[in-house]
């Protein structure tokens, strides 16, 4: 049985959900991948816990002060890092230091927070290539909604012409509530916050920055583009007024906050803003906290995925989907290295 050691940096709601789901799936990893998965370290910004033999669920509430930082992860002997800390695309921190350290050491990284990937994506991709480490980001690129996987697997070989994505659950809920429940923006936002799926400071969502970050990741990691935030026009939903809602109702149009990317021979153009759709368009029926992506290709036409999941479990599951991809790739490498069939 191949022992695989996992460390989790960032131990808030998503990090804890990932740890619990990882430990609950250990028998699956043994049976499907022949891997003995051990969670050898977890840490937040000021405290952590490590055990080379593996942490059990009952111990995860007893973190010790001072055990944190990239050196702590390095010392744990982990083979794979799962980075689940706070996201800041303006600085890349705090996840950037963890990811940079791991990739430089040849340690595979599964990234959930978007900030470091938006801020320093080209550098991190180059580090992964030079060290041979794998860098996965399903949890960062819309989590339960498949985005990168569609581009890397389902649509492989096609030329992508256009992408439209409803990539933020909070803004989709807000627009749905304003259109169908006659709520104003402030009341809809208060309900979303009371429901626990809108942040106390919702500006990254409502101003379009979260959607922009996800669009950049899909473009750069799924299409090998080189977009930065400066390349995007970004508008949110915070300025939508009652007269906008009434006009859309009269025209029988449905507003959605959409990240859109168009590729031509000469350029890749990307923007985030409110677009309206007639009822005949599938994106008009993506309601509530659901998300969606429509990818138009030269050979396969339009592919649409619509999904949602209970958070933070859905994001944890997306990250552990990446873990299974890594385990499969590691097994293939080992087979080739031993002279067996790939």
CB burial string 162-186: b at 16+ within 10 A, e below: ebbbbbbbbbbbbbbbbbeeebebe
Q: Which two tokens stand for residue 137?
A: 């980001």
Q: Flag whether 289 is marked binding.
A: no
- The catalytically annotated residue of 136, 214, 291, 321 is 214
Closest CA to 84 of 21, 132, 128: 21
Question: How far apart are the C-alpha atoms of 213 and 285, rounded to whole Å?
Answer: 24
Q: Flag whether 288 is marked binding.
A: no
Is 214 annotated as catalytic? yes
Q: By the 8 A CB rule, do 217 and 114 touch?
A: yes
Q: Flag whether 85 is marked binding.
A: no
Question: How far apart are the C-alpha atoms of 114 and 99, rounded to whole Å?
Answer: 12
Question: How far apart are the C-alpha atoms of 292 and 311, rounded to whole Å?
Answer: 16
Closest CA to 9 of 119, 103, 90: 103
- The burial class, CB within 10 Å (0-12 / 13-18 / 19+), for 201 is exposed
Q: Flag whether 274 is marked binding.
A: no
In order of 30, 203, 334, the CA distances from 337 in angstroms are 21, 49, 5
Q: Flag whether 114 is marked binding.
A: yes
Q: Flag whether 10 is marked binding.
A: yes
**Could you tell me which residues are annotated as the binding site for L-homoserine?**
199
**Could you tell me which residues are annotated as the binding site?**
10-15, 114, 199
Write out the catalytic residue numbers.
Answer: 214
**Could you tell me which residues are annotated as the binding site for NADP(+)?**
10-15
**Could you tell me which residues are annotated as the binding site for NADPH?**
114
């Amino acid at each position: 049985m191949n022992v695989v050691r996992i460390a989790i940096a960032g131990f808030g709601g998503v990090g804890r959900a990932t740890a619990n789901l990882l430990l609950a799936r250990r028998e699956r990893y043994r049976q499907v991948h022949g891997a003995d998965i051990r969670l050898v370290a977890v840490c937040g910004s000021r405290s952590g816990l490590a055990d080379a033999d593996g942490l059990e669920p009952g111990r995860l509430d007893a973190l010790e002060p001072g055990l944190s930082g990239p050196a702590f992860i390095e010392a744990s002997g982990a083979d794979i890092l799962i980075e689940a800390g706070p996201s800041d695309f303006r600085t890349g921190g705090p996840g950037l230091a963890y990811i940079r350290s791991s990739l430089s050491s040849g340690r595979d990284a599964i990234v959930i927070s978007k900030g470091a990937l938006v801020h320093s994506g080209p550098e991190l991709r180059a580090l992964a290539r030079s060290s041979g480490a794998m860098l996965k980001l399903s949890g960062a690129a819309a989590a339960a909604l498949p985005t990168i996987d569609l581009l890397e697997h389902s649509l492989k070989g096609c030329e992508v012409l256009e992408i439209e994505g409803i990539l933020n659950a909070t803004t989709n809920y807000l627009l749905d509530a304003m259109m169908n429940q006659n709520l104003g923006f402030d009341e809809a936002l208060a309900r979303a916050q009371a429901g626990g799926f809108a942040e106390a400071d919702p500006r990254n969502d409502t101003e379009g920055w979260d959607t922009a970050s996800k669009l950049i990741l899909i473009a750069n990691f799924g299409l090998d583009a080189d977009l930065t935030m400066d390349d995007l026009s970004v508008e949110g939903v915070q300025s939508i007024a009652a007269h906008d809602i009434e006009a859309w109702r009269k025209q029988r149009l449905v507003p959605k906050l959409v990240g859109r990317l168009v590729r031509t021979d000469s350029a890749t153009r990307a923007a985030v803003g409110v677009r309206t759709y007639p009822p005949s368009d599938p994106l008009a029926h993506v309601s509530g906290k659901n998300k969606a992506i429509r990818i138009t290709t030269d050979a396969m036409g339009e592919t649409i995925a619509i999904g949602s999941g209970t958070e933070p479990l859905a994001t944890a599951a997306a990250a552990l989907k990446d873990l299974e991809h890594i385990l499969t790739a590691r097994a293939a490498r080992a087979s080739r290295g031993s002279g067996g069939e790939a």
